[in-house]
Structures are given as structure tokens and as C-alpha cells.
Amino acid sequence: MTSTAMLDTSSATSNTTQVYRIFIKATPQAIWDAITKPEWTQRFGYGLRDEYELRPGGKYRGHANQGMIEMGMGGVIVDGEVIEADPPHKLVMTWRMAIDPTLAAEGFTRLTYEIVEGRGGVSRLSIIHDLAGRPGHAAMVAGDQQGPGANGGWLWILSDLKSLLESGAQMTPASRLQPHE
């Protein structure tokens, strides 16, 4: 039956571009802050302490959070460079899993965040992740390495971000999460 395959979307393995779109009851500024400010980035998804230089050519570093450091995984987990920063609507950047030598060797991917204000206090967040020629990254952000229905990838990160901004609570404490191997 086709619906079975369809519910298993987390295992999509597009090696080109992946697109995710979510509607969140929050202002574009609140979403922008959640994506770019370390006090917010530590509260959803993998809970990295993100550091951005929000200008073209500026550095991006996603640092290990306390839970990861305690497990012996410190330093920079994800790195990249800002290509375009137009707060609170558009962020274009390069993005690479720096902690994993195999993934790091694939090189940088191109990641775009787009935030559009809608009606009734609802904003639309789109993720356009260009992963051409980066199959390891593509599998990771699609949530492939986490098993069916389990946590991982953009789907889970966005779902968690929505929960955080709409209810102030996140689904899973970041400190309990294992980073991707």
C-alpha cells in the first residue's frame, strides 16, 4: 500500500536538494532569534551552542553543548560560512558536519532559511538544503541514521522548534540526545 511508504518519509534519500516547510505561530523575529542566537539554539534540536557572524563571509560555528561535552564530545560540531544574512527573513550559509571526518570530507552543503510572515501571527519557515554530491549529509539531515520513526534530521529539529516557540517546551531535553556519529 502506498501510504505505508509515504509515512516513512524520514528515510527519503535525496542526494540533491531537500526542502522542509513548517508553519509556526510566532513572529519572524522570534524564529530568526531561535535559529541564530545561542541562548535559543541550545533549547531545541541537538541543542548546539551556535555562533554566527551575521554578515557575508562571516563564520558559523555550532559548538558542543554541555551534555555532549560530558560525553567526551567537545569543540565544533558543525561549521560553515554566512553567505547572506537578511534578518529576520533570510539566511543563506554553508554548512558542514565538522565533527565527523567522513562527512567533513564531503565538503560544505548550502543551507537557506526563509521566514515569511503570514496571517494571524503565523510565520512560514522554509529550509532549502542543497546537498548535491553530499550523500552522507543528505542521509543525516533526512534522519536516515536514526531508524524508522526515531528522532533525527530536519523533520525532528523543526517539529521541536515549533513546540518550543508555540508552547515554550521542547519534546526532548537536548542534553539527553546523542549527537550523530
Partner 1 sequence: MHDDDLVFKALADPTRRFLLDQLFTRDGRTLTELESELEMTRFGVMKHLRVLEDAGLVVTQRSGREKLHFLNPVPIRLIHDRWIDKFTERRVSALTDLKRQLEDQSA
Number of residues that bind partner 1 (CB under 8 A): 30
Q: Please, which residue, 14 or 29, has the CB nearer to partner 1?
A: 14
For 12, 45, 58, 162, the CA distances from 155, given in Å and listed in that order, are 11, 10, 27, 11
> From the list 55, 149, 175, 178, which residue makes contact with partner 1 (rule: CB under 8 A)?
149
Task: Enumerate residues 93-132 that contact partner 1 by CB under 8 A.
Answer: 120, 122, 126, 128
Q: Please, which residue, 57 or 176, has the CB nearer to partner 1?
A: 176
> From the list 65, 156, 165, 179, which residue makes contact with partner 1 (rule: CB under 8 A)?
156
Q: Please, which residue, 16 or 178, has the CB nearer to partner 1?
A: 16
Residue 131 CB, nearest distance to partner 1 (Å)?
10
In contact, 128 and 17? CB cutoff 8 Å: yes
Q: Please, which residue, 14 or 27, has the CB nearer to partner 1?
A: 14
For 31, 65, 167, the CA distances from 36, given in Å and listed in that order, are 9, 15, 20
Q: Please, which residue, 77 or 164, has the CB nearer to partner 1?
A: 164
| Nearest of 144, 143, 128 to residue 95 by alpha carbon | 128
Task: Enumerate residues 21-60 that contact partner 1 by CB under 8 A.
Answer: 21-23
Grid coordinates in use for 31? 524564529
Query: Per CB under 8 A, does 20 bind partner 1?
Result: yes
- C-alpha 106/C-alpha 132 separation (Å) is 10
Grid coordinates in use for 126? 522554509
Per-residue H/E/C for 2-48: HHHHHHCHHHCCCCCEEEEEEEECCCHHHHHHHHHCHHHHCCCCCCC
Neighbours of 90 (CB within 10 A): 15
Q: Which residues bind partner 1 (CB under 8 A)?
A: 2-7, 9-10, 12, 14, 16-23, 120, 122, 126, 128, 148-149, 155-156, 158-159, 162, 171
